[in-house]
Structure 1
Amino acid sequence: MSEILIDPPAGRAADIRARPGPASDLPVLTAHVALKRVIMLVNPMSGGVDSQALADATAILTDYDCDSSVVELTHDDFDVRVDAALAAGPDVLIVLAGDGTAGTIASRAGPGGPLIAPLPGGTMNMLPRALYDTADWKVALRLALEQGTIRSIAGGEIRDADSLHTFYCAAILGSAALWAPAREAIRTGQMRLAWVYARRALRRAFGGRLRYTLDGVAGRQTEALVLISPTISRTVGEDAGLEAAAMNPADAGQAVRLAARALFNGWRQDPSVRTTATRSADVRARSRIPAVIDGEPTLLRHEATIRFVPRAFRALAPPPTTAAGAVT
């Protein structure tokens, strides 16, 4: 079989792994998509990727009847290698990296590019868990290759004066974003660190309110606004838009209760939370807005615009199952 050729940067060897010819005992590739050429990008600096990942990925891909290559992403030539992988036109581009890296590559691919398989290689792994319902990248890889279908992934874009951010799971704007590190620390069993994050978030919870509009409706004020993609929302359909949840605790006591529910799930049932579907939103505040966008913390400028993107990119993943990976 012919190999997928990617021109490496000058002075570097090509990251190409040839596989042997087909054998009768090979695992069977999905019948839903023709997978003849596969490229896998691995970021060894991501939180969920160890030093053995490149070798393990190569060994797994060798089991399948397709031409495959594994490419290591490095800080020095990240853009060069991603661009080369996209230009090679693979049937699927598999990404083992953190949420931010996977989101960046998915954005570059867009709806007209190759299929993307974002494996859980980071800390929060929001999109991979929604698509594959596992935090084990090796399991997710085999699920994609053996059961994958073409799934159109919706998302959102957040634009402020300085930058454009994309998200495919959820964006948290305002004080609720301050609770995300505490929740993640609890999920990974780091209770002492969770307590430190929770105290910090509570101290800053009333640092400033957001004024927002949804689909042009007159602005309101809220403590925080959460925007959730239909990929993982339990309450909106694929084409309805983003699920918008406004969090409005009336006092410190309600804020503590809402924070607890945000940490341990069930926050939608809190009486201080209102949810609706929206295709666009505008937010503004007196100061910079803390945000967590697909698990990545950032600071937005004091004004930002959010837009629903119904067809952001195409993923290779099993058909969705009820509530798998849904935001809770």
Structure 2
Amino acid sequence: MSDNIIQPAPADSDALVLTPHVQLRRVIMLVNPLSGSVGPKAADEARAILEGYACDAEVVALEGGRFDQQIDEALAAKPDVLFVLAGDGTAGAAASRAGPDGPLVAPLPGGTMNMLPKALYGTADWKQALKSALEEGEAQDVAGGVVEDGDLREPFYCAAILGSPALWAPAREAVRSGKLKLAMQYARRALKRAFSGRIRYTLDGGTRRRTEALVLISPMISKAMDGDEGLEAAAMDPTHAADAFRLAAHALFDDWRRDPSVRTKPTRIAAVRARSRIPAVIDGEPTLLSNTAQVRFTPKAFRALAPRPPAAEDSV
């Protein structure tokens, strides 16, 4: 038997009580000790936590260059739930590979932005999120979207930002890391691109419009969307330099959706075109698309193990 496999606590012991909402007999947890806020002791700490529950658990340390293979191996073992303590990209890859018919996935906050884990668990503490999922978790269908650019299909579960304001993402992360000089360099680069790369877009085949950036937000993140209505499409339209600076300040330090130059609308399909390649941030991961892309709504992207949202509890 692998040294990583944790023997379940005996049924007559003082084992912590698992959630009554789903069956959790077989648990696998993938840990990337080099990611974000994880650290080299995380795998041992996870084993110590899991030992307290009456389930068959295995903790696997991810190895550089083998992430995809190890995710596939974990899913092939058909666990009741796959926990992922790693960066945003790795968590997204596990959710994408599991899909709507695969095992439950629990992406714990182990990255930099932790957009998906924070939306599911409301915390940046991975130990708290792990315990919450084990003790209170339910199966939840998670909606999202997919960015299509030629052969590229990049799923997202929180938000995709397309257009020049996406260039502010590196500056924002530099601020969070305390690298203010680097943040200013990124900020100057982003301002140089402002107004020089406006994009054209259509929502659900409607009127073509122009904007500085288009943001597609999943129902899990959006306060304006319900269930399978679609993605919240937010267009950013600064009209002059003062607006650009204000929007940049929101992007770095605040909620940009509060800015008066942002307007929103529900959509299921968005088509985007620009004269040059389109900078984008997809669930916190910066990328560069070609000059055309399409974004589609995915009503059921994967199934998560997470506590019931407070709003759902209040309505019972």
TM (normalized to structure 1)? 0.90
Any idea what SS the aligned residue of 2:5 has? coil
Unaligned runs of 5+ in 2: none
Matches within 5 A, 1:135-146: 135-146=124-135
- Matched residues in 1 for 2:120 and 2:303: separation? 12
Would you say 1:301 and 2:290 are equivalent positions? yes
Counterpart residue number, 2:244: 255
Structure 1: 5+ residue stretches without partners: 6-12, 324-328
Quick check: 52-61 or 178-187, which moved more? 178-187
67-76 vs 139-148, which deviates more? 67-76
Q: Does residue 1:164 correspond to 2:153, yes or no?
A: yes
Q: Which moved more, 1:155-164 or 1:71-80?
A: 71-80
- 1:154 is aligned to 143
Residues 223/52 of structure 1: CA separation in 2 closer, same or farther (3 Å cut): same
What CA distance in whole angstroms lies between the structure 1 residues aligned with 2:250 and 2:187?
12
Q: Any conservation in 2 of the 1:172–1:291 contact (CA below 8 Å)? A: yes
Match of 1:24 in 2: 13
> Whole-Å Cα distance in 1 between the matches of residues 228 and 123 of structure 2?
26
- Are 2:76 and 1:87 equivalent residues in the alignment? yes
1-structure distance, mates of 2:169, 2:305: 28
Q: Given residue 173 of structure 2, which amino acid in structure 1 is its aligned partner? A: E
Pick aligned residue for 1:264 from 237, 253, 257: 253
Q: Describe the superposition over 1:235-268 as per-residue Cα deviations: whole angstroms up to 9, x where unpaired.
A: 1112110010001111111111121122232433
Report the 3-state secondary structure (helix = DSSP H, G, I; strand = E; otherwise coil) of the residue aligned with 1:316.
Answer: strand
Q: Does the aligned pair in 1 maintain the 2:9–2:15 contact within 8 Å? A: no
Tell me how far 1:189 sits from its aligned partner. 4.5
Q: Distance in 2 between matches of 1:238 and 1:143?
A: 23
Q: For the Cα contact (< 8 Å) 2:201–2:273, is it kept in 1?
A: yes
Q: CA deviation at 1:206?
A: 2.4
Query: Pick from 175, 184, 195: which aligns with 1:186?
Result: 175
- Partner residue, 1:36: 25
Residues in 2 aligned to 1:15 and 1:24: alpha-carbon distance in whole angstroms: 22
Q: Match of 1:30, SS?
A: coil
Deviation at 1:168, TM superposition (A): 0.1
Judging changes above 3 Å, is the alpha-carbon distance between structure 1 residues 190 and 76 closer, same or farther for their aligned structure 2 residues? closer
Displacement of 1:20 in angstroms is: 4.2
Matches for 1:115-264 after TM superposition, within 5 Å: 115-264=104-253
Higher mean displacement: 185-194 or 243-252 = 185-194
Assess if the C-alpha contact under 8 Å between 2:159 and 2:216 holds in 1: yes
CA distance in 1, matches of 2:65, 2:11: 36
Q: Deviations over 1:149-199 (max 9, x none)?
A: 111100000110241101000001101101122233334544444333322
Q: Structure 1 residues 186, 76: CA separation in 2 closer, same or farther (over 3 Å shift)?
A: closer
Question: Is 1:291 aligned with 2:291?
Answer: no
Q: Show the counterpart of 1:326.
A: none
Amino acid at match of 2:73: A
Aligned residue in 2 for 1:280: 269
CA contact (8 A) 1:175 1:290 kept: yes
Larger deviation, residues 141-150 vs 72-81: 72-81
C-alpha separation in 2, matches of 1:29 and 1:80: 29
Report if aligned partners of 1:96, 1:120 keep a CA contact under 8 Å in 2.
yes
Whether 1:62 aligns to 2:54 is no
Structure 1 stretches of at least 4 aligned residues deviating more than 6 Å after TM superposition: none
Instruction: Give the length in aligned residue pairs.
Output: 312
Distance (whole Å) between structure 1 residues aligned to residue 245 and residue 257 of structure 2: 15
8 Å contact kept, 1:162–1:301:
no
Q: Which moved more, 1:261-270 or 1:62-71?
A: 261-270
Asked if structure 1 preserves the Cα contact closer than 8 Å seen for 2:233 and 2:267, the reply is yes
Question: Aligned partners of 1:271 and 1:231: how far apart in 2?
Answer: 23
In structure 1, distance between residues paired with 2:126 and 2:112? 12
Q: Give percent identity, aligned residues only.
A: 65
Name 2:88's counterpart in structure 1: 99
Residues of 1 paired with 2:11 and 2:184: CA distance? 53
CA deviation profile, 1:269-324 (whole Å, cap 9, x unmatched): 3332110010000001111110000000000111001000010000000111359x
Partner of 2:103: 114
Q: Secondary structure at the match of 1:313?
A: strand
Deviation digits for residues 94-121 of structure 1, max 9, x if unmatched? Answer: 0111110111110110010000000011
